[in-house]
Amino acid sequence: MEVWSLVERQHQCRNPLKPNCGNKDIVVYLQVDQECLPLCQQCWFSLAETEIDWNKIIGCKKIVV
């Protein structure tokens, strides 16, 4: 079994704009300040298509993909 497959199954989506998502098909992790947030494919595509001012929404200073 591939390591990536194991990682995907251990985490569920923690999209700060959709906190009840819970999908486990994690495709990317966002580093928001000091925390890494796993995002599922659906949430990642949705976030990638929108213009978001993260500082206003969740009060973060830095985001790394």
Question: Sign of dihedral through CA atoms 10, 33, 14, 47?
Answer: negative
Q: If we measure between CA atoms, which residue out of 50, 7, 52 comes closest to residue 32? A: 52
- pLDDT at 8 (0 to 100): 47
Note the pLDDT tens digit of each residue in 23-38: 999 998 887 777 888 9
pLDDT at 2: 47
Give this prediction's pTM: 0.67
pLDDT tens column, 4-30: 444 545 789 998 888 899 899 999 888
